[in-house]
Structure 1
Amino acid sequence: MATTDRQATTLALAHALSAAERGLAVIPLSRSKLPALRSPHRDDPSPPPCHGECGRFGHGVYDASTDPHRIRELFAAAPWATGYGIACGVRPHHLIGVDLDTKSGTDSSTALRELALRHLFTIPDTVVILTPSGGRHLWLTGPPDAVVPNSASRLAPGIDIRGAGGYLVGPGSRTDQGVYGTAPGTAHLTPAPCPPELLRLLLPPRHASPRRPLHDAGHDHDHGHGLVHFVRTAHEGQRNTRLFWAACRAYENGLGEELSPALIEAALHTGLTEREARSTVASASRMSGRREQGHKLWGAPKLPP
């Protein structure tokens, strides 16, 4: 093994032990970001459904531990490891990773901001990990009774979720693509609780009942006035959020084109500029899958305060 690889393994172990001191369960990773230890059952013709019950290493995230002695044993068994993974969904943090990818060419950060506006939540200050490809991992914590599944682009293109049974590449890990690091200003933070509105989006749907379109219920006129009033009575700090929410509801119920001028006028009354108002309504149209003809997009709105 080259000296640089030995140094990378030593550094990875040091970072992994530091993470374990903060209650994060870890496993060694190879340069490919995969678990460094292969399954002990890989040559079995009929491998058993084992999560480590056999007592041997090589069960991926199920090997993860906060015990320094066990972590050293794991790294000793994988001297080629150059990084470490942090298990999600386990005690005490029940970590949830929001992976904002950039490789697909999608603007995942904008997609997350639009989700926040649409569902009225704010991304809290939390640990942010910078990936070698230019992406970001946001660390959030979940309640003990919530099992958040792993998913890829289910919320929006380019947004992957790491939950129970998954892991995040820890800061300080060296991979084929480069080194993972903590974003400036977030190293001192602890993972923040996942906003309840976002958590509902991450959990599997339970018993969703079909939503009856408002125009079938005979409330088009009343609902339209209610949405306009909702925007018109917004105070500073909630104007953009209310406009986006109301526009989304309008488009979802077939009222978008009809109500857009009134919603924009109401937003102007609260102090938004025409540029800001039209940008927000256009984002709501795009988010609802019914892009309004003739709108010019000026960019994504900001997160709600």
Structure 2
Amino acid sequence: MALPDRQATTLALAHALSAAERGLAVIPLSRTKLPALRSPHRDETGPGRGSAPRCRGECGRFGHGVHDASTDPTRIRELFAAAPRATGYGIACGLAPHHLIGVDLDTKTDNDSSAALRELALRHLFTIPATMVVLTPGGGRHLWLSGPPDVVVPNSASRLAPGIDIRGAGGYLVGPGSRTDHGTYTVAPGTAHLTPAACPPTLLQLLLPPPRTHHPAPSSTGGHGQGLVQFVLAAHEGQRNTRLFWAACRAYEDGIGPALVGPLVQAALDTGLSEREAHATIASAARMTGHRP
């Protein structure tokens, strides 16, 4: 029998506060696993209509999805007070101190996602370390891994292998104890005491956008450079850092990284990133591709 919403919300808040004590930033979720707070910009007109892609919480109101995530108990209580029908909580990925990466092994596909992950591990010579595992109501599993602080892991669906989704920067995982329309998320036996283990370096490389073949370019950035800038300008909410990181990696691999820093930073500013965020992301791309920022 389903719990009344009020009791379910109280339990979800308790679980969320417990997660926050472990350094995990959280938001309230509805029974559908979506953020429980609607966007305050949903009725606005103009370029930001509906999703208001240029606002990530700067307006000071709740309802910006994963951008509302916090580890502050007072703010978390305020979030849940504003979402009286929340029955679960989401854990934001990619944030300090854990820089969480979620490996979502789905069971709704014809392929065995667990077997696919084992095959990848054998083929690429890495081992999944002992780590926190969350069981989903549908029989799937979420493996919690920790990433480096200067690497942006993008969200992806079945890119690594069929049935394996990745939750990275801008994404979230449903926290254990959350109640949904399909059941309750629980911690796998024997893993509750574990912290997110470091993502194996080889697996981390597989999670990043595929590298391009290096083709040295003349000093002018040319059409390819403009294409990378346009790629960043086309970013939507939740894609900005990922697209900027990918474009900067391609620029450094193609020998036009230093010349393209300025245009990429300006493109990032135009999409709503701060100058500090833009420079930090480009510096990470430089280091990842073996260049000095």
* Length-normalised TM-score, structure 2: 0.70
Deviation, structure 1 residue 69:
0.1
Match of 2:157 among 152, 156, 160: 152
The correspondence of residues 114-153 of structure 1 with structure 2, limited to 5 A, is 114-153=119-158
Deviation, structure 1 residue 5:
1.3
Deviation, structure 1 residue 208:
3.4
Looking at structure 2, the residues matched to 123 and 207 of structure 1 have their Cα atoms a distance apart, in angstroms, of 27
Letter in 2 for 1:30: S
The answer to whether residue 204 in structure 2 is matched with residue 188 in structure 1 is no
Looking at structure 2, the residues matched to 176 and 118 of structure 1 have their Cα atoms a distance apart, in angstroms, of 38
Looking at structure 2, the residues matched to 200 and 156 of structure 1 have their Cα atoms a distance apart, in angstroms, of 14
Map of 2:95 onto structure 1? 90
Looking at structure 2, the residues matched to 119 and 74 of structure 1 have their Cα atoms a distance apart, in angstroms, of 42
Map of 1:13 onto structure 2? 13
The answer to whether residue 67 in structure 2 is matched with residue 69 in structure 1 is no
Deviation, structure 1 residue 77:
0.1
Secondary structure of the equivalent of 2:173?
Answer: strand
Letter in 1 for 2:166: I
Map of 1:101 onto structure 2? 106
Looking at structure 1, the residues matched to 70 and 119 of structure 2 have their Cα atoms a distance apart, in angstroms, of 36
Give 1 or 2 for the bigger CA radius of gyration. Answer: 1
Looking at structure 1, the residues matched to 189 and 131 of structure 2 have their Cα atoms a distance apart, in angstroms, of 11
Looking at structure 2, the residues matched to 66 and 116 of structure 1 have their Cα atoms a distance apart, in angstroms, of 33
Secondary structure of the equivalent of 1:96?
Answer: strand
For residues 23-65 of structure 1, the C-alpha deviation after alignment (integer angstroms, 9 at most, x for no partner) is 0000000000000001000001122410000000000000000
Q: Could you say what the CA RMSD is over the residues aligned between the two structures, in angstroms?
A: 1.3
Letter in 1 for 2:184: V
For residues 139-188 of structure 1, the C-alpha deviation after alignment (integer angstroms, 9 at most, x for no partner) is 00000001000000000000000000000000000000100000000001
Deviation, structure 1 residue 207:
3.0
Looking at structure 2, the residues matched to 195 and 205 of structure 1 have their Cα atoms a distance apart, in angstroms, of 17
The answer to whether residue 185 in structure 2 is matched with residue 165 in structure 1 is no
Identity of aligned pairs, percent? 82
The answer to whether residue 38 in structure 2 is matched with residue 53 in structure 1 is no
Any unmatched runs of 5+ in structure 2?
216-293
Map of 1:251 onto structure 2? none
> In structure 2, do the counterparts of structure 1 residues 209 and 21 end up closer, same or farther at CA, with 3 Å as the change threshold?
same
Letter in 2 for 1:15: H
Looking at structure 2, the residues matched to 169 and 198 of structure 1 have their Cα atoms a distance apart, in angstroms, of 22
Looking at structure 2, the residues matched to 202 and 104 of structure 1 have their Cα atoms a distance apart, in angstroms, of 20
Deviation, structure 1 residue 3:
6.5
Letter in 2 for 1:38: R
Secondary structure of the equivalent of 1:198?
Answer: helix
Letter in 1 for 2:16: A
Looking at structure 1, the residues matched to 79 and 120 of structure 2 have their Cα atoms a distance apart, in angstroms, of 39
Letter in 1 for 2:108: K
Looking at structure 2, the residues matched to 105 and 182 of structure 1 have their Cα atoms a distance apart, in angstroms, of 25
Deviation, structure 1 residue 104:
1.8
For residues 215-256 of structure 1, the C-alpha deviation after alignment (integer angstroms, 9 at most, x for no partner) is xxxxxxxxxxxxxxxxxxxxxxxxxxxxxxxxxxxxxxxxxx
Looking at structure 1, the residues matched to 210 and 165 of structure 2 have their Cα atoms a distance apart, in angstroms, of 17
Letter in 2 for 1:96: I
Secondary structure of the equivalent of 2:160?
Answer: coil
Map of 1:197 onto structure 2? 202
For residues 97-144 of structure 1, the C-alpha deviation after alignment (integer angstroms, 9 at most, x for no partner) is 000001123200000000000000000000000000000000000000
Deviation, structure 1 residue 205:
2.3
The answer to whether residue 28 in structure 2 is matched with residue 23 in structure 1 is no
For residues 52-94 of structure 1, the C-alpha deviation after alignment (integer angstroms, 9 at most, x for no partner) is 0000000000000000000000000000000000000011110
